Amino acid sequence: MHAILAHANTFKDWTSSVPFAARLAAELDANLTGAYVCPAPIAVSPFEVPDAYVLAVAETRNLEELAYASRDSFQALARALGVKKPRWQVAEGYVPEVLARLANRHDLLVVGRGDRESSESPARIGRIVLENELPCLIVPPGSIQPSFDCIALAWNGSP
């Protein structure tokens, strides 16, 4: 395994998937890319509600700037956990589609399941897993040490 992609569903505090992926990458001497996906502004006609659209675009740009600014924090965490060359990626769009595009350069996708209050709903995680063509690890909340004591395997029957 040479490259691991870790989906960061937040950049304010690193959820279980990011430290888990960093420790796994360090253990396997693999590259690590952390990815945060900003939701795209809702497309509305600028003639219908111009102020709302301008506000939505401005909020998205602000969120992207904050996400880009968290690169140093991500890299510091990953290096502290033993990753040699961590990379930080910020993108905009629908999370499953963006991760599917980023996944083509990676061997494994690590996604955090989140707790009951999390924005990572089971349906959204299901879409992420099904729209990617690479192995996925779904990390439960609080799991930061790579441990494979209990594993569930799923396969859609494709080659």
Least confident of 5-14, 71-80, 89-98: 5-14
> What's the CATH number for 3-139?
3.40.50.620
- For the full predicted model, state whether its pTM sits above 0.85: no
Q: How far is CA 109 from CA 101, 120, 145, in A?
A: 12, 15, 16
Mean pLDDT score, 101-122: 76
pLDDT for 115 beyond 80: no
E strand or H helix at 74:
helix 71-80
Q: How far is CA 29 from CA 1, 19, 62, 72, 96, in A?
A: 8, 15, 35, 21, 27
In this predicted structure, what is the pLDDT of residue 117? 47
Residue-wise pLDDT for 51-77, tens only, equals 777 777 788 888 899 999 999 999 999
Strand order in the sheet with 86-92: 86-92, 31-38, 3-7, 108-112, 136-139
